[in-house]
Structure 1
Amino acid sequence: MSGIYIHIPFCKQACHYCDFHFSTSMKKKEEMVLAIAKEIKVRKSEFKNDPSKSEQGKQMVETIYFGGGTPSVLTSEEINFLIAAVYSNYSVIDNPEITLEANPDDLSEERIIELSKSKINRLSIGIQSFFEDDLQLMNRAHNSAEAQKCLEVATQYFDNISLDLIYGIPGMSNEKWKQNIETALSFGIPHISSYALTVEPKTALNKLIQTGKIAAPKDEVAQEHFAILVETLEANDFIHYELSNFGKENYFSKNNSAYWLGKKYMGIGPSAHSYDGVSRSWNISNNSLYLKSIQEDKLPNETEILSTADRYNEYIMTGLRTIWGVSLDRVKTEFGFVYLDYLNKQVQKFLNDELVLVKDNVLKTTKKGKFLTDGIASDLFILN
């Protein structure tokens, strides 16, 4: 098994663009931590046939990832308690990557020092922007000063740090976006994840746009920002290893790379997803029902057995988004000639437009096609 993802479903306040599962009420936080620890224990037998298990029969865990929500709302004691639950129920490799997603307002100097003394060895910090007006538009809980201060301190105690930046924000000029990137680079951060501002249906951002209070993001602006991002980071020795992720050598996210490479993982906590190679399961996205189920010794999840078409479509999507691309040999071996023939026919128009290329029998997007990756992938999908 590759890794364990732990979803912490709490946030201090709701960002306008976010549609992930979380609650702004902390009333059930302690109860939730205990329930998550119980789920970790209960599910240790799930991968009993996993060939990566140790001689003792426990599963080999390579990464532990605290996502959310905002995992940094947990105390250091609660984080350490959950890490200990993993270690006591699974066999963990030496020096696993253990990531904590954190917001700048939670990362005081005292807190950073506490975390540096724990098993957490990678921070993923939700900066999003270094400009006050952007942060207010997105309803972030931190301000620009906190964003820069936490990075000044965190880089003294952590070598492996990633930060998130959002582009395509209404009113953000190319020059302003360049300043955001340059500010991030000034801290010597080895990994940057960057996403276009996306308007999801049931979010505050969508309502603000519909009522005319905020302008809608423009695709052409996002595309310009993306081009600036790629050019600037690659000029600073970052490797563009996944559509939204850039890392210096030896600083790729091991947790996320495992997802893109199709490795098995377990998702713990409300709304968390798991994958075992043949099926995908997901926990209920409701804190109260999750807690009730765990207390009744029931796993609050649903499972879907993936069809050959499902697995092919996922491979196309994840492969095209990464530097590893889509192996035509793997498509033939794993899915058969019918799928390979279909892919070869569907991809021809993108080859003609120089949006993709085939090199060493591996299909990849070109620089010209990179921003259009998801759309290209969807055109290569096969219907069930």
Structure 2
Amino acid sequence: MNETAKRARATIDVAAVRSNVRALRGRAPRAELMAVVKADGYGHGAVPCARAARQAGASWLGTALPEEAFALRAAGDTGRLLCWLWTPGGPWGKAVEQDIDVSVSALWALHEVSEAARACGRTARVQLKIDTGLGRNGSQPADWRELTAAARKAEADGVIKVTGLWSHFACADEPGHPSIPLQMAAFDEALAVAGAAGLRPEVRHIANTPALLTLPESHFDLVRTGIGIYGVSPSAELGTPHDFGLRPAMTLEASLASVKRAPGGHGISYGHHYTTPGDTTLALVPLGYADGIPRNASGSGPVLVAGKWRTVAGRIAMDQFVVDLGGDSAQAGDTAVLFGPGDRGEPIAEDWARAAGSIGYEIVTRIGTRVPRVHVDTNVVDTGVEGDPTRTGGAQ
């Protein structure tokens, strides 16, 4: 363990990622699976998680930004890879040269990728996105017929190949939401329009993790799994990770920086929003909002210290927060577990999400760069021998 990791570390079990991918594939057996590894693998490390997902049968990877896709290629990934968040003047040519599927939602983007393909002398792999009701990226239905016709012409000219048609749900994490059947109907209509234009894509996809878990009619040819592959539930309404056979991959922990006795009436942290009710023991956890710990979980964020579930005492500061151990004892250097898979009674990411009034996605993705990622494989025996091929851990 390096010196930084002795303060705090996020340990990611790639075996859990593989297990989660297999579990999710089992719920959509007739569809291919895309592992979404944007935002550095939702904070888990894009490259090691992408490798684990590929090992478990993910035939596609997905990223938001071109730079994220390029990093995967630089790391040696050569499989199918979709990148969807583009702005005018983006690095289309580099994506075409690296055989990356690019998402197109408007005529300007189709023009730019077509020009890049001509300049490269290669056919661009393009996926057209339709806005079925999320209201973000994607072609409006009123513009879809023109976009698909233009794409078919570019395809006939040999400039592009339309490899996919896709969309994204707005409320799949809210069971029974009335927007869900409306989006499904809009997607079906968009597919019909594209078919009438002569497009024959390799994959059609709209299902994200919650849709994969609850809407089998949305699976089509491909399902896009983001948060699920990391073992975090997409919604408290849908259930816990364990309800779906998923295992949280990240464990966030720190070494206590200080343990000391304090009298009753002692104010804790900025603003003295917590005062010790009596003689007690205080433990200092060296993580704060600069590390991604949400400040609005002050007074409520859960931590496992000295074998018991505690809550943050007072405000979370930039680099540290305090927990009140009451009559229990601990020592500097002991471990505080903020969240993990729950095996030892520790909180899971969703517990911090509830405390912060947020979602599990934000809790894991916001963990900052001051916290080193240590990747381990619990399915591999660690011999302790430096350079042993059975070892996969180490700070990333």
User: TM-score of the superposition, structure 1-length normalised?
Assistant: 0.37
**More relative contact order in 1 or in 2 (CA 8 Å, sep 6+)?**
2
Q: Which has the larger radius of gyration?
A: 2
